[in-house]
Each structure stands twice: as C-alpha cells, then as structure tokens.
Amino acid sequence: MPTCDVNLVDSEKVQKVRTAIADTDTLFRMAELFKAFGDPNRVKIIWALATEELCVCDLSSVVGMTPSAASHQLRSLRNLKLVKFRRAGQMVYYSLDDKHIEMLLAQGLEHVQEDRR
Amino acid sequence: MPTCDVNLVDSEKVQKVRTAIADTDTLFRMAELFKAFGDPNRVKIIWALATEELCVCDLSSVVGMTPSAASHQLRSLRNLKLVKFRRAGQMVYYSLDDKHIEMLLAQGLEHVQEDRR
DNA sequence: AAGATATATGAACATATGCACATATATTCA
DNA sequence: TGAATATATGTGCATATGTTCATATATCTT
C-alpha cells in the first residue's frame, strides 16, 4: 500500500488516534446500523414505525412502496434488530425495537435542519 | 403499484402517520447524512477526526487506506459538510465540522454495544 | 525553474444495493 | 378442503458505491 514517503507526519498523534478508535468488528456493526438509515425509503419506514405500529399493508401505503419492497426492507431492519413485529391473523404489525432508533432519527433530523441555514 | 385489496387496514392511522413524516427532501438529506456513516472505513475516518485533527497522510495510515482512497472519501464527507479542513503547506488537515457528528457517532456506538448482550 | 512530496481527481472495475416480478407461505373464511 | 388475502422470499436487473491505478495540482526546497 502506498504511503506518504515521510512514513508519518506526527506518529505520536497517529498512535493516540489508533488506540482511540474502536475495534474492527464494532466499526463494522456501526456502519451496518447507519447503513440501515442510509436510504430515503428506509428512513421513511423507520419514521413511520416511530410514529405508530403498522401492518405491512398500511406501511407500504404510507411510504409509497409495493408491499413486496416494503417486506424486503423490513427483513433487513429485522435482521439488524431495528424493528420488531407481532402477528395478528394474516397481518403482521411492525414497530421500532428500541428507543435508540428514535434518538438516532431525531439526531439526524436535527443535523439536517440546522444545516439548512 | 400493487396494494392490498383492502385499500387500507386502518386509514385513520395511515393518515396520522403520513402527516407525521418529514417531507421528501428532508428524508433524502437525512438518508445522505446517515449514508456517510454507512461504511466501516468512513466510520473509522470520522472517529479518527473526532479524536484529533489529522493530515491526509496520517489519517490514511490510521485507517489503513491509501491516501488516494482516503482523499476520495474525504471529498464526500466534505460535500456533506461533515468535515472541514485547513491547508498548512503541502499538507491538508481535516477535522470534524460539527458537534452533531460526534453525537451521532456516540449514539451509534451505544446502540451497537448495548445490542451485544 | 525543476524536482520532490502531499493531496486531489478522473476513469475503470468489481461488488453491493434496491426494486420489480414471480412465486411461496401463512392465515382466514366459506 | 379450497379460495382469498397478507406477507415473505428468490431471482434478475439497473444503478450506486468503494477501491485501484493513472494522472493532475499545489506547495516546498534547492
């Protein structure tokens, strides 16, 4: 891997930062979590479920996706344990799994709104 | 677009959720913000810069990328106004642009760690 | 000015992602 | 049991993404 010829500019800083950063697995999991929020439709889904528990049918209607597409996304969110669900007859009701999720959503919104100056 | 035959299961809820969700543009911007965190290497970059201001050379060393790859990623982060930079001679020093970014990072970490029960 | 070094950028390529479509599964109701 | 409905899943495709490699730009040094 090419590096700067001066191997490091400030190796003390580099060492400090190296120890500050989380392990690879944690970084990977964090990236995966954020990736879940990295699509407008999924943000919409998450927001919707933060507002109200919804069945797949109503959810798809709200976010404007086919039930199939919504279901696919819900699967990812389920795998990441971001949403939980309960079956009620033929319907399956989804909701957020965790208060953290709402906080992340709120943080994101805040940043975006503040940035629009 | 196919929908459930029963047009809506609970149209009152649907209406409520519809009005609760942000406009398309906001959703899009939020997704873009989160997408920036949606890659392990970028999380690493952001974390590194949250710890210490770094030149591209030292940053690439910390995150284990080529300076070129790091520079590409820094450009995206710059476009999203997540990082700022100052030139010092041949070197360019990057740092986080905003406290929100660190908070998002912290929130993400917290979720991931709590989840590892 | 010329060479050296740090950073940036463009293009190409491999991989990942999100959706549509077809089909499967599960539940209800007749 | 069989038809109807809600949800889930597999596959294929178009597009997005991240990296590498080549090259450009900027700054310093001599």
Q: What is the DSSP string of B77-88?
A: HHHTTSEEEEEE
Kindly tell me if the per-residue pLDDT of A115 is higher than 70.
no
Q: Give me the pLDDT at residue B6, please.
A: 56
Q: Give me the pLDDT at residue A4, please.
A: 64
Report the C-alpha gap between A116 and A98 in whole angstroms: 29
Report which residue type is found at B48: A
The answer to whether B55 contacts chain A (CB < 8 Å) is yes
Write the residue in A48, A67, A91 that is nearest to B21 by C-beta. A48
Kindly tell me if the per-residue pLDDT of A22 is higher than 70.
yes
Q: Give me the pLDDT at residue B92, please.
A: 97
Spacing of C-alpha A84 from chain mean position? 14
Report the C-alpha gap between B81 and B29 in whole angstroms: 12
Q: Give me the pLDDT at residue B46, please.
A: 98
What mean pLDDT value characterizes chain B?
A: 92
Contact B35 A33 (CB under 8 A): no
Predicted confidence (pLDDT) per residue in B15-43, tens digit? 999 999 999 999 999 999 999 999 999 99
Give the bases of strand C that a protein CB approaches within 7 Å: 4-11, 17-23, 26-28
Helix, coil or strand: residue A116: coil
Q: How far is B90 from chain A (nearest CA, A)?
A: 12
Kindly tell me if the per-residue pLDDT of B7 is higher than 80.
no
Kindly tell me if the per-residue pLDDT of A1 is higher than 60.
no
A contacts of B116 (beta carbons < 8 Å): 29
Predicted confidence (pLDDT) per residue in B51-64, tens digit? 999 999 999 999 99
The answer regarding whether domain B11-115 maps to CATH 1.10.10.10 reads: yes
Write the residue in B4, B20, B36 that is nearest to A57 by C-beta. B4
Report which residue type is found at B43: V
Cβ partners under 8 Å of residue B98, min gap 6: A111, B81, B82
Q: DSSP letters along A64-89, please?
A: T--HHHHHHHHHHHHHTTSEEEEEET
Name the closest residue on chain A to residue B93, using Cα atoms: A9
Question: Helices in B54-117 by DSSP H: which ranges?
Answer: 56-63, 67-79, 99-115
**Is B70:B45 a contact under the CB 8 Å cutoff?**
yes
Better-scored residue on pLDDT, B5 or A16: A16
Residue whose pair of structure tokens reads 């975006």 in the numeric block:
A112
Q: Give me the pLDDT at residue A8, please.
A: 72
Predicted confidence (pLDDT) per residue in A49-107, tens digit? 999 999 999 999 999 999 999 999 999 999 999 999 999 999 999 999 988 899 999 99
A contacts of B36 (beta carbons < 8 Å): 34
Banded model confidence at residue B96, pLDDT cuts 50, 70, 90? very high
The answer to whether A106 contacts chain B (CB < 8 Å) is no
**Is B49:B96 a contact under the CB 8 Å cutoff?**
yes
Report CA(B84)–C1'(D21) in Å, whole number: 27
Better-scored residue on pLDDT, A16 or A8: A16
